[in-house]
Amino acid sequence: MQEPQFHKLTPRAIRVWQWGNFIGNLFFFAIPAAYAAVFGLDGFHFWMVVITASIIFILWQLSIFLTPYLSWKNWRYAIDEKEIDLKRGILFKTRTLIPLSRVQHVDTRQGPLLRWYNLSSVTISTAATTHEIPALDSVLANRVRRQISTYARLAEEDV
Amino acid sequence: MSEFQRQHPVAAVSRALDLIRGNFITILVFLFVGAQSETFPFLWWIGGGFAFLLILGVANWWRFLFKVEDDMLHIKSGIFVRKNLYLTKDRIQVIDITSGIIQRMFGLVRLDIQTAGSSSRQAAIDAITRDRAIEINRILRRGTQKSDTPEDEITELAQEPDEILNRFKLPHKELLIAASTSGSFGIALSIIATIFSQVEPLISESEMFEYLFNMLPSQTDTMMIISIILIFIVFAWLISFFSTLFTYGNFSLEVKENEIVVSRGIFEKKRITVPYNRIQAIHVTEGIIRQPLGYASIHLESAGYGDGKGTGSIVLFPLIRRSEILHLLNDLLPDYQKEHEGIRPPKRALRRYLFRSAFFITAATALLYWGMNFNLWIWIFPVLSVYWGWLKYQDAAAAAGDDILVLRSRRLSKSTAYIKKKRIQDATLIQSPFQRMRNLCSIQMYVASGDHGKSFRVKDLEYNDGLKLLNDVRKNGIEFSELVDEQVVNKKVPLPGWG
């Protein structure tokens, strides 16, 4: 017997994460803005605002141009008749096994960004936890969902 | 039993009281605000409020119907929005019979039927006679395995599972030890602190402090603070002592053909029925005070909700001598394989354990000592934290049997968990950058328990051992390609090691 067949996510996932982080992390600039609003921009406070804003700017840029690539590079998933196997993580590498007999329900989800790129995410819930395969081609996502629910039905056992 | 029935009318009262208890803070605030204004028609409001709640309770009681048919419980409830709840017996995780003080005055009980998932919180019948509760319990519990046997055989079978095969009681001495070393001590302390912080502005104005000040032998501020803290601790201890005494008094554990029945409580009696095939995991906890005395408590995880907080933990035995745990578990769960050869984290993981435990405490101590000129004695905390880290390292271990995993770890108290492999909901291996440098990993296993599940975790195992454990959980036992086959010299430890 050998290692199960691992798949990668679609490269389009990178674009989705880039846009998502571009918009989502803009929010953090509210921190120096709020600081400036409360304390003003004189002397010491001016430098505080400049420093926090530039740190946030650097992290923002990294979250657009670096982490999506690394995240995509590290994501792997495999599905067979018995288990779902997920590998992910940039710094903290995580590997999760979900026995298919424990899967309660699977669904596909699609936000506006994912829809634009014609992608979907697949969410797998057990009685204890919920896991997500974040960005798959919509057609593929539906196939994965069907595959998981078929296997799960075959592996049916009581909670 | 196939007709729709109402509950006993007492349900209306207990429902109203439940509403009061649920909104206690709101009512209290309301009363305080009200009492301060002159024009407030105080009695009218209170009377009206109670009347309203009573009407609500009666309406709820009137609109609540239940029946049992075809091994299914059907509950209709809701005043305006009608809710139909169907519970089939195959899905029932735990059956809970409680009798509070009001119910007991009328010889009634409350019946909770728990399924996996949070909606089960509504499946409760507030007030029915004990006989009827036991009858429903029996109908819903009987013949889970053989549902297609003829009718007359079922009635025969229905008697048999009710026979008590074995019964365990908690001796008085153990009950007293359990009460005096109870873990709810901290909770009690925080309750008192909260109350004090609310009341403090009132009494600091009064002569109370002056009085205390004169009473105490030494009249310095430090002495005063220390004695106040001591008084708090004594109070907290008393609260936790009596609450544990009342919760676990009359404890008994009955073993039946295919279920365990736990009954306990002095004022509020509780009777919990857990079928064997619904047990998700067993864990034995040795608290920091109890461990040196040689005692531990045993808990059971169920997919029902257990207590009100949404965790599925049920106390299987509140206090037991360490040397007797294995006997009890052998009687209770003979199909759990109990003794294994466990793997411990390698020696190079020790420094990670020490660092994790001691770092923040040492940093905080240094800050307090140099920054705020605290007494030299506070350096005892970092020393203790190093010892704590060492204990955590000593206690971390994992083992895999044929169909079971044993995970042992320590936060404050030492916990040993037995999990059947087929009960594991998800198994995760995590590697932080530093762990990768040292070729270590942490593993985490989730089982279903209450609303969110419960995780058991062992940190800093050898990466290869972690992969082996993960591979053990796999059903088809595919070997990972990363798995090194060479025999690494491991530190082995016999589990569970309760002697």
Beta strands in B367-483 (DSSP E): 397-400, 404-410, 414-420, 424-431, 440-447, 454-462
pLDDT score recorded for residue A74: 94
Please answer yes or no on whether B422 and A82 come within 8 Å at the CB atom.
no
Which of A129, A130, A156 is the mutation pick for testing B, counting most B CBs within 10 A?
A129
Q: Is the peptide bond between B201 and the residue preceding it cis, with omega within 30 degrees of 0?
A: no
Task: Tokens for B453, please give them.
Answer: 């599940």
**Neighbour order of strands in the sheet with B404-410:** B313-321, B295-302, B279-286, B414-420, B404-410, B397-400, B340-343, B492-495
Do residues A70 and A125 make contact, with C-beta atoms less than 8 angstroms apart? Answer: no
Residue A156 at interface with chain B, using a CB cutoff of 8 Å: no
Distance from CA of B350 to the nearest CA of A (A): 20
d(CA A69, CA A12): 11
Which of B425, B435, B440, B470 is the mutation pick for testing A, counting most A CBs within 10 A?
B425
- Taking residue B219's Cβ as centre, other Cβ atoms within 10 Å add up to 10
Task: Tokens for A43, please give them.
Answer: 């002397």
Please answer yes or no on whether B422 and A92 come within 8 Å at the CB atom.
no
CA distances, B377 to each of B15, B381, B386 (Å): 53, 8, 16
Q: Residue B337: which residues within 8 A CB-CB, separation 6 or more? A: B401, B402, B403, B404
Please answer yes or no on whether A129 and B475 come within 8 Å at the CB atom.
no
pTM of the entire structure? 0.79
Please answer yes or no on whether A4 and B478 come within 8 Å at the CB atom.
yes
| ipTM given for this complex | 0.86
pLDDT score recorded for residue B17: 80
Considering only CB atoms, B432 lies closest to which of A92, A97, A102, namely: A92
Do residues B282 and B312 make contact, with C-beta atoms less than 8 angstroms apart? Answer: no
pLDDT score recorded for residue B146: 41
Please answer yes or no on whether B453 and A98 come within 8 Å at the CB atom.
no
pLDDT tens-digit map of A92-118: 999 999 988 888 888 888 889 999 999
| Contact residues, chain A, for B277 at CB < 8 Å | 158
Considering only CB atoms, B478 lies closest to which of A3, A92, A128, namely: A3
pLDDT score recorded for residue B225: 73
Please answer yes or no on whether A97 and B478 come within 8 Å at the CB atom.
no
Which sequence spans correspond to the domains of chain B?
Answer: 10-162, 173-248, 252-345+396-495, 348-387
Distance from CA of B227 to the nearest CA of A (A): 43
CA distances, B171 to each of A73, B166, B177, B292, B343 (Å): 60, 16, 10, 20, 36
Which amino acid, one-letter code, is at A158?
D
Please give the residue of chain A at the shortest CA–CA distance from B312: A128
Please answer yes or no on whether B476 and A82 come within 8 Å at the CB atom.
yes
- Taking residue B472's Cβ as centre, other Cβ atoms within 10 Å add up to 18
Please answer yes or no on whether B430 and A99 come within 8 Å at the CB atom.
no
pLDDT score recorded for residue B477: 54
Please answer yes or no on whether A2 and B116 come within 8 Å at the CB atom.
no
| Contact residues, chain A, for B432 at CB < 8 Å | 91-92
Do residues A12 and A117 make contact, with C-beta atoms less than 8 angstroms apart? Answer: yes
Please give the residue of chain A at the shortest CA–CA distance from B472: A97
Please give the residue of chain A at the shortest CA–CA distance from B280: A159
pLDDT score recorded for residue B484: 59
pLDDT score recorded for residue B145: 42
Interface list for chain B against chain A, based on CB atoms closer than 8 Å: 90, 93, 116, 277-278, 303, 422, 424-433, 436, 446-449, 452-455, 470, 473-481
pLDDT at residue A19 above 90? yes
pLDDT score recorded for residue B188: 61
Considering only CB atoms, A97 lies closest to which of B93, B433, B470, namely: B470
Within a 13 Å sphere around the CA of B229, how many CA atoms are in the beta-carbon half?
6
User: Which positions of chain B have pLDDT values less than 50?
Assistant: 144-159
Residue A92 at interface with chain B, using a CB cutoff of 8 Å: yes
Do residues B70 and B86 make contact, with C-beta atoms less than 8 angstroms apart? Answer: no
- Taking residue B93's Cβ as centre, other Cβ atoms within 10 Å add up to 25
d(CA B162, CA B321): 29
Considering only CB atoms, B424 lies closest to which of A1, A91, A99, namely: A99
